[in-house]
Chains A and B, each alone.
Chain A
Amino acid sequence: MLRVAAPLMVGIVLLALWQGIVVSYNVPKYLVPSPLAILHALIDDWALLSDSLLVTLKITLLAFLMSILIGVAVAFLFVQNRMVEMSLFPYAVLLQVTPVVAIAPLIIIWVKDPTRSLVFCATIVALFPIISNSILGLRSVNPGLLNLFKMNKASRWQTLTRLRVPSALPYFFGGLRISCGLSLIGAVVAEFVAGTGGTGSGLAYQILQAGYQLNIPRLFAALFLITITGVLLFVGMVVLSKLALGGWHESELTPET
C-alpha cells in the first residue's frame, strides 16, 4: 500500500508545485507549459498522438521480441562451446558499445522498409543484456545438481531443458527488465534519426515536429506518453517474472518477519 501511495504523493506534490510556479510567474507556454496545459494538449491531440503511440509501441514490441529471440538463440549457441563464445563474444560487445545514433542513418539507407529499419536499430540496442544475462544464467548451474544429472546419465538435451534453462530463468528475467526499456529507447532514437530525414510517424517524430512548431505542450504530451510506455513495459516484466519465479526464487520471495 505504502509502496504505491508514497511515490504517488511525491508525484502529486511535484506536479502541484510545477503548476503553481508556472501560473504564479506567468511562464509562457512555449517555454514551460503547466501540467494542465500538457493534459489539454494530450486530450486535444489525442487522435494524432495515439496513432504515433501505436507506431512507436509496435516498433518497440517487435524489437523487444526480436532481441529475445536472437539473444536467447545466441546465448544457447555460446554456452554449447567455450571456443564459440571466445571467438564471437567480442563482437557481441561491439554491438553493445556502438552508439545506435551513429549507425542508424546507414541502416535506414540500407533497409528500405521504414518499420523494418527502425526495428533493426532498436533490436541492436536491446539485444546485449539478453545475450549476456542468458549466458550468465545458463552457466550458473549448481555444480552438485550437474553431478547428479551426470550420475543419472542424463543426456545433453535433458541437462539443458531440465537444469540449465530453469537455472537461467532468474537471470533471463533480469535481462528482460533491462531490455524492455532499451528497446523503447532504441525505437525512439531510431525514429529521431528517421524523423530528421523527413519520414516517420512515431512519437519521436511528433516531438521533433512539435519542437519545430514551438508547440511545447504537445512535445511534453508526447514525452509523457513515451515515459508511461516505458514504465508500463517495466511493470509488465516485473509481473511476468513474479509469475514465473514467485514460487521459488529468492528475488521474488517476501521476507518472513
Chain B
Amino acid sequence: MVDLWGVEKTYANGTQALAETSLTFNEGEFISLLGPSGCGKSTLLKMIAGLAEPSNGKIRWWNHGLDQVGGPGRKMVMVFQDATLMPWARVGANVRLPLELAGSKGPEADRAVADVLKLVGLERFEQSFPRELSGGMQMRASIARALVTEPNLLLMDEPFGALDEITRNRLDGDLRELWAKKKLTIVFVTHSIYEAVYLSTRVVVMSARPGRVSREVLIDAPAFGSGARSEAFRVSQEFAGYCKELSDALAQASGEGGVDH
C-alpha cells in the first residue's frame, strides 16, 4: 500500500538523515521501524506521513499519483511522541476534532466518538480535560483521535516512549489487540527491541550514521495468537529468540557503520 523507492533525506546543513532506502508496506501488516537514535526512523515516518519531503527518491501511496501525498479516499493518521491533545478541549472534543475538520457533524460523529472512546477504554472520561488524565490515558485519547476517522494507515512515532514500562506493556497489548480487531495497518517507530518483537508482524532494523535499513525480520509466533498476542509470548522461547536475532542485527549494523562506539 505504500512503496518507497530509493528514498533519501539530506538536511540543508548537509547531514544525511536517511541514505537511499527502498521498502514496501502491505495492507494489514504491523511493521516496526527499530533502531538507535539518529537512524532516520522518525524522518522516514514523517516522509510517509507527508510532513517532510524526501530529498531524493519517490514515495507511492496506494498505487496512486506519484507525487500526491496519501491517495483519493484513503486516510493516513499519525500518533506522535507526545499525546498532543488540545489542553483547552475536553477529551471528547479532542477525539472529535478530525471529524469536525473533515466537516462531519451530528449524531453520526457522536456515535463514532463514543465508539472509539470505548475501544480505548476511555468512555468514562469524555468530559475530562487532558491534564486530568495520566500519561497513559492521554496516549489512549491520542490513539482514539487517530482511529476515529477509520484510517487506512496508522503511523506511530514512539508513542509510548515517555511512559513507564508497566503502562507501556499494557498499551502494547491493547494496541496489538486493536490492530487485529480493526484490521489496521500500522507503521510503528520504536527503539525498544521487546516492544518491536511483541507488537510486529515485521521488524525493519535500521542503523545510524547515515540512517539506513540493515535488515528485515518477520515475527511469526502463531502459538501465541496471530491476532492479539498473549502475555505469555513475552516470556517464551520464541520471544527470546527474536530478541536475540534483532539485537545481533543491531550490533552488526552499528559495527558495519564502524564510526561510533
A residues adjacent to B (C-beta < 8 A): 142, 144-145, 147-154, 158, 162-163, 166, 169, 245, 247-249, 253
List residues of B (37-96) whose CB comes within 8 Å of A's CBs: 49-51, 76-78, 80-82, 84, 86-89
Could you tell me if B80 and A147 are in contact, using CB atoms closer than 8 angstroms?
yes
Could you tell me if A248 and B129 are in contact, using CB atoms closer than 8 angstroms?
yes
Could you tell me if A248 and B51 are in contact, using CB atoms closer than 8 angstroms?
no
B135 interface residue per 8 A CB criterion = no
Known pairs A153-B101, A158-B101; A148 contacts B78 (CB<8 A)? yes
Q: Among B84, B129, B131, which residue has its beta carbon within 8 angstroms of that of A148?
A: B84
Closest residue of chain B to A147 (Cβ to Cβ) is: B51
B166 interface residue per 8 A CB criterion = no
| Closest chain A CB from B84 CB (angstroms) | 4
* Residues from chain B with Cβ under 8 Å of A145 in the complex: 84, 86
Is chain A's binding surface mostly helix, strand, loop or mixed? helix
Could you tell me if A247 and B51 are in contact, using CB atoms closer than 8 angstroms?
no
User: How far apart are the CA atoms of A253 and B84 in the complex, in Å?
Assistant: 20
B residues adjacent to A (C-beta < 8 A): 49-51, 76-78, 80-82, 84, 86-89, 97-98, 100-102, 129-131, 149
| Closest chain B CB from A2 CB (angstroms) | 27
Q: Among A142, A152, A248, which residue has its beta carbon within 8 angstroms of that of B97?
A: A152
* Residues from chain B with Cβ under 8 Å of A153 in the complex: 101-102
Could you tell me if B101 and A149 are in contact, using CB atoms closer than 8 angstroms?
yes
Closest residue of chain B to A151 (Cβ to Cβ) is: B78
A sample of 18 inter-chain contacts (CB < 8 A) reads A142-B84, A147-B51, A148-B78, A148-B80, A148-B84, A148-B97, A150-B51, A152-B77, A152-B98, A152-B101, A152-B149, A153-B102, A158-B101, A166-B86, A169-B88, A245-B88, A248-B130, A253-B131
Q: Among B77, B80, B131, which residue has its beta carbon within 8 angstroms of that of A248?
A: B131
Q: Among B80, B88, B101, which residue has its beta carbon within 8 angstroms of that of A247?
A: B88
* Residues from chain B with Cβ under 8 Å of A169 in the complex: 88
* Residues from chain A with Cβ under 8 Å of B84 in the complex: 142, 144-145, 147-148
Could you tell me if B88 and A248 are in contact, using CB atoms closer than 8 angstroms?
yes
User: How far apart are the CA atoms of A253 and B97 in the complex, in Å?
Assistant: 25
Closest residue of chain B to A142 (Cβ to Cβ) is: B84
* Residues from chain B with Cβ under 8 Å of A248 in the complex: 87-88, 129-131
* Residues from chain B with Cβ under 8 Å of A151 in the complex: 49-51, 76-78
Closest residue of chain B to A144 (Cβ to Cβ) is: B84
Could you tell me if A144 and B102 are in contact, using CB atoms closer than 8 angstroms?
no
User: How far apart are the CA atoms of A248 and B131 in the complex, in Å?
Assistant: 7
Closest residue of chain A to B87 (Cβ to Cβ) is: A248
Known pairs A247-B129, A249-B87; A144 contacts B101 (CB<8 A)? no
| Closest CB pairs A-B (n = 3) | A144-B84, A152-B101, A144-B80
User: How far apart are the CA atoms of A154 and B86 in the complex, in Å?
Assistant: 15
| Closest chain B CB from A169 CB (angstroms) | 8
| Closest chain B CB from A120 CB (angstroms) | 35
User: How far apart are the CA atoms of A136 and B149 in the complex, in Å?
Assistant: 33
* Residues from chain B with Cβ under 8 Å of A247 in the complex: 88, 129
Known pairs A151-B76, A152-B102, A154-B101; A144 contacts B82 (CB<8 A)? yes
User: How far apart are the CA atoms of A247 and B86 in the complex, in Å?
Assistant: 12
| Closest chain B CB from A170 CB (angstroms) | 9
* Residues from chain B with Cβ under 8 Å of A152 in the complex: 77, 97-98, 101-102, 149
Closest residue of chain A to B99 (Cβ to Cβ) is: A152
User: How far apart are the CA atoms of A84 and B53 in the complex, in Å?
Assistant: 27
User: How far apart are the CA atoms of A149 and B80 in the complex, in Å?
Assistant: 13
User: How far apart are the CA atoms of A248 and B91 in the complex, in Å?
Assistant: 12
Could you tell me if A166 and B88 are in contact, using CB atoms closer than 8 angstroms?
yes
Give 12 A-B pairs besides A144-B84, A147-B51 with Cβ atoms closer than 8 angstroms: A145-B84, A145-B86, A147-B78, A147-B84, A148-B80, A149-B101, A152-B102, A152-B149, A162-B101, A163-B86, A166-B89, A249-B87
| Closest chain A CB from B96 CB (angstroms) | 11
* Residues from chain A with Cβ under 8 Å of B97 in the complex: 148, 152, 162
* Residues from chain B with Cβ under 8 Å of A163 in the complex: 86
